[in-house]
Amino acid sequence: MTIRIAALAGASALLLSAAARAEDVTLQLKWVTQAQFAGYYVAQEKGYYEDEGLDVTIKPGGPDVAPAQVLAGGGADVIVDWMPSALAAREKGLPLVNIAQPFKRSGMELTCRNDSGVTKTADFPGHTLGVWFGGNEYPFLSWMSKLGYSTDGGPEGVTVLKQGFNVDPLLQKQAACISTMTYNEYWQVIDGGLTPEELTVFKYEDEGVATLEDGLYVLEDRLKDPAFVETMAKFVRASMKGWKYAEENQREAADIVLENDATGAQTEEHQVRMMGEIAKLTEGSDGALDPADYERTVKTLLTAGSDPVITREPEGAWTHSVTDSALR
């Protein structure tokens, strides 16, 4: 009996020791809990982070949360952000660095009502277009510049409606077009009563103005610490394992997301549908940033006419040091 008690005590001590050694990592998401971030929730649920010796806290975002500001304030170790806003922040003095790129393709699009008279890009002038701000406006502004349309209104330009995070402006005919994502707002439009035949959708990928979305970013100074780089390598490795599982088990991944939705606002139908669309964007990515995708994003952002998103070629805005370690 004494031996058995001693063995149990020893096992407990080992467990406590392992728990004590777990490295804390805080991830700040760009938006609320939904299948857009399924890979991270799956990695947590399946124990992939724990297997790497990590104790990961996932913080949902929202309309009043700016991931870059959270990172700058020390509220997170790593954030999910879009590259346009990350590069804009970097040029303004906040040294964000992309350490991994789970999303290979862009899900951004502009969805228009055919009865508004907009069925091709040449129809944009003289119409009101809904645009998200808070860093999400940059790809749109670059696109309008490429087309040669001002965003100050008038018959030769477009009127920009600062769009909230809903699809009401399109449903209520306050705008001819609104910003949507393939995995989210487009389906809200459909659920709102419009049919695909009544809509024209302009995908940023098809228009040649797609920019990288949902990358992982940290502060540059922290990458000087080899221990932090190794921690991020563990985090990326586990996260990408979560993403691949989510791609292959979409319904289960959607269920895991729903279990983590503290608001109860998400529905199973919408999350399953979203996960199916998200899988198209992460497919083929091993987490490492493709330099060609980065260069395309930078080129798009630099060609924003008189009001470019960034004014010079960024330096040091991304690194393969983390993914090289994660994938070896």
Residue 137 has pLDDT above 70, yes or no: yes
Residue 110 has pLDDT above 70, yes or no: yes
Burial 288-303 (b: 16+ CB within 10 A, else e): bbeeebbebbbebbbe
Residue 14 has pLDDT above 50, yes or no: no
Q: Could you tell me the pLDDT band of residue 76, with boundaries at 50, 70 and 90?
A: very high
Strands 159-162, 128-131: parallel, antiparallel or unpaired by DSSP? Answer: parallel
Instruction: Report the pLDDT value the prediction gives residue 12, as an integer from 0 to 100.
Output: 52
Instruction: Report the pLDDT value the prediction gives residue 5, as an integer from 0 to 100.
Output: 47
d(CA 287, CA 80): 13
What is the DSSP annotation of 236-265?
HHHHHHHHHHHHHSHHHHHHHHHHT-TT--
Name, in order, each residue with C-beta under 8 angstroms of 310's C-beta and a sequence gap of 6 or more: 87, 88, 91, 298, 301, 302
What is residue 103's three-state secondary structure? coil
pLDDT per residue over 243-296, tens digit each?
999 999 999 999 999 999 999 989 999 999 999 999 999 999 999 999 999 999
pTM of the model: 0.89
Strands 78-81, 23-28: parallel, antiparallel or unpaired by DSSP? Answer: parallel
What is residue 164's three-state secondary structure? coil
Across the chain, what does the average pLDDT equal? 92
Q: Calculate mean pLDDT across residues 80-89.
A: 94
d(CA 75, CA 70): 5
Instruction: Report the pLDDT value the prediction gives residue 300, as an integer from 0 to 100.
Output: 86
The span from the first CA to the last CA of the chain, in angstroms, equals 47
pLDDT per residue over 191-225, tens digit each?
999 999 999 999 999 998 899 999 999 999 999 99
d(CA 133, CA 313): 23
Q: Calculate mean pLDDT across residues 15-44.
A: 87
d(CA 88, CA 95): 10
Domains of the chain: 23-104+212-327 (3.40.190.10), 108-203 (3.40.190.10)
d(CA 115, CA 9): 73
Q: What is the widest separation between alpha-carbon atoms in the chain? A: 89
Residue 6 has pLDDT above 80, yes or no: no
Displacement of CA 78 from its chain's centroid (Å): 13
